[in-house]
Amino acid sequence: MQSSTRPNDRQTAIFVSVAVGIIVAVVTTATFYWVYDLALGRERVAAATLAKAVWSPSDGTKAISAAAPNVPTDARQPWLGVSAWTAGVQAGQTWVTNNPNPVNVQVLTGMSSAQIWAYMQQYVAGGLGVSCQYCHDINNFSLDTFPQKVAARNMMYLANDLNANFILKLPNWRGNYVQCATCHNSKPNNMEAFGPQFAGSVPPIKVTVDPLDAAGVPITDPAKKPVAIQGKVKLQEAVLYYIYNYQVWKPYDAADPASGRGSLALEYKGGRTQDQVTNNQNVMNYMGWSLGVGCNYCHNSRNFPAYETAPVSNVTNQLYAYNKRKAQQMLLMTSWIQANWVTYGAIGKDAIPTPLEGGASKLSYHLIDGKYYVEPGCFTCHQGFNNIDGISVPRAAMNQVSFKDLGDAGQVVFPQALRGGQ
């Protein structure tokens, strides 16, 4: 008698169970993906697309023209909206026609009025997301009528000094410069120094900050510490202290494995206290969130203190030694900015405005001589993006391949006076 090849009841049950399980798994996965896509997926895809797109002056122009008209409370004319943008452009073109030679130009020297106008219109107005009236009396562009114009002039000095003293000295420098948009990202005032991850994820605890002296020895005597950290402070404030008060007490030397040590160093005889480890970790978290990278972007995970410039082949990121030194240079830059911020023309506020009033979050404001100032941090420029071929360069950095003389037009995209003396 020929045996049957039909499955028995048990085999059928197993087959049906597996098939149903697969269908349920597919439907469940699809449902979760659908919910994720609705909640975060599209936003993250858009952010990733934005991160890969180099900032363009058209971004700023769109920000100005798409904005609702504003109503200034001082003597300035409106600087937002299509009407304000059109009025500013027309007034600027008339000024250039009537004044081909610069009048009261103190920074962008050696340029014609047409060249200055081209740069100001695209990279200053566009970089801040405001039309000409934000800084200028458009009836006479040469006047220093408003403090915003003086502040903008000083900010140009700041850009030049940052490029000269920090950016051009970066190890493995790739030709990127600081420009207006690098910090402002087409926003005049709302320059966030700390992103939402930092604001929401740092534990609400108080810690002791033991800074290092010039020899790299922890200062534990409260009387010898700066006033702001003589007692326990919030962990967020401790992170701010390191971001804006960084120092290198043992400069990097390729021949010395123990070199390159600064304020965040933890390797000591007996080790640092738990509070110092906590402070260090949260500063590192802040930098990682700000740049959109993990620890291995800067560190050899097998030897965190190392600065090898020629890491072994099995290290994931062959640039980590350069990146770690870059991060140190950037911390020195934020500390320098903090020490010189008022000198470079930032306009203080009597009180911290709310975000709805065009202000940043409270963490980004610092009280200096009775006024509140927004000071740039890592997040201000990087915005949480790791965007150019895996290299964490701010989206709105000015790259040397992007600027050039535009031939017969005589326009200069990035003025020599802002390139740090190069």
Q: DSSP readout, 19-85?
A: HHHHHHHHHHHHHHHHHHIIIIIHHHHHHHHHHHSPP-HHHHHHHHHTSPPP--SSSPPP-SSHHHH
Higher pLDDT, 231 or 355: 231
Span 396-401, mean pLDDT? 73
Q: What is the pLDDT of residue 149?
A: 95
What are the pLDDT digits (tens) for 307-365?
877 777 767 777 777 889 999 999 999 999 999 998 887 888 898 887 656 667 888 88
Phi, psi of 366 (to 5 degrees): -130, 135
- Which one of 133-142, 201-210, 322-331 scores highest in mean pLDDT? 133-142
What are the pLDDT digits (tens) for 68-94?
999 999 999 999 999 999 999 999 999
Count of beta carbons in the 10 Å neighbourhood of residue 192: 22
Span 206-218, mean pLDDT? 92
Instruction: Bin 206: left if φ > 0, else alpha if -120 < ψ < 50, else beta.
Output: beta
Please say if the pLDDT value at position 117 is more than 90.
yes
Q: Which of 119, 72, 55, 60 is CA-nearest to residue 92?
A: 119
Q: What is the pLDDT of residue 203?
A: 86
The per-residue pLDDT of the chain, averaged, comes to 85
Q: What is the pLDDT of residue 404?
A: 44
Phi, psi of 375 (to 5 degrees): -115, 135
CA distance 277 to 271: 9
The number of CA neighbours under 13 Å toward the Cβ of 298 is 22
Confidence of residue 405 (pLDDT cuts 50, 70, 90): very low
Count of beta carbons in the 10 Å neighbourhood of residue 370: 7
- What CATH code would you report for 191-382? 1.10.468
Higher pLDDT, 408 or 195: 195
User: How far from each other are the two terminal CA atoms of the chain, in whole angstroms?
Assistant: 96
SS3 237: helix
Q: What is the pLDDT of residue 105?
A: 95
Q: What is the pLDDT of residue 20?
A: 85
Burial letters 83-110, b for 16+ CB under 10 A, else e: ebbebbbebbeebbeeeeebeebebbee
CA distance 218 to 265: 10
Residues 47-54: contacts with CB within 8 Å, 24+ apart? 47/385, 50/385, 50/395, 51/292, 51/385, 51/386, 51/387, 51/395, 52/387, 52/388, 53/395, 54/388, 54/395, 54/396, 54/399, 54/402
What are the pLDDT digits (tens) for 277-293?
999 999 999 999 998 88
Please say if the pLDDT value at position 4 is more than 90.
no
Q: Which of 75, 189, 83 is CA-nearest to residue 129?
A: 189
CA distance 193 to 382: 10
Q: What is the pLDDT of residue 108?
A: 93
Phi, psi of 248 (to 5 degrees): -105, 120
Q: What is the pLDDT of residue 54?
A: 75
CA distance 332 to 50: 28
Q: What is the pLDDT of residue 201?
A: 85
CA distance 66 to 86: 12
CA distance 162 to 329: 11
Q: What is the pLDDT of residue 45?
A: 64
CA distance 289 to 197: 7
Q: What is the pLDDT of residue 299?
A: 87
Higher pLDDT, 136 or 414: 136
Which helix or strand (DSSP H or E) is residue 206 part of? strand 206-207
Which helix or strand (DSSP H or E) is residue 290 part of? helix 274-291
Note the pTM of the prediction, 2 decimals. 0.83
Q: How many residues does the chain have?
A: 422
What are the pLDDT digits (tens) for 19-63?
888 888 888 888 877 776 776 666 666 656 665 667 888 888 998
Q: DSSP readout, 312-356?
A: -TT-S-TTHHHHHHHHHHHHHHHHHHHHHTGGGTPPPBSSPPPGG
Helices 235-244, 274-291: axis angle to 10 degrees equals 70
Domains of the chain, by residue range, sit at: 13-52, 57-182+400-418, 191-382
Q: What is the pLDDT of residue 43?
A: 63
